Amino acid sequence: MAELDSVPMIEAIGLSKFYGDFAAIRDISFSVPQGQVAAFLGPNGAGKSTAMKILTGFLSPSEGTARVAGIDVARERTRAAERLGYLPENGPLYPHM
């Protein structure tokens, strides 16, 4: 367990997502240690949702690496998802509640 404690819980390394010439996000890098609460703040269109979709494996990055608990999301999406809970703003559960 001590090994896991030294690994960031969420890590973005040079994440970019391009749609043709349009950059939804460009070269985003940050890390969130285990046990820390973090939030994305910014105006509409800033790339918050795109970054979250990449970090959760719902979208592939054009460039860069997303890791959850040291697990590369693109390579081991299911294993990474076991370590992360995510409910988007317009989540599919709300109409069923």
* Number of neighbours of residue 16 by Cβ within 10 angstroms: 17
Give tens-digit pLDDT for 7-30: 899 999 999 999 999 999 999 999
Cα–chain center distance at 93: 20
Is the pLDDT confidence value at 4 over 60?
A: no
Give tens-digit pLDDT for 25-83: 999 999 999 989 888 899 999 999 999 999 999 999 999 999 999 999 999 999 999 99
Rounded distance, CA 86 to CA 49, Å?
12
Structure confidence at residue 19 (pLDDT): 96
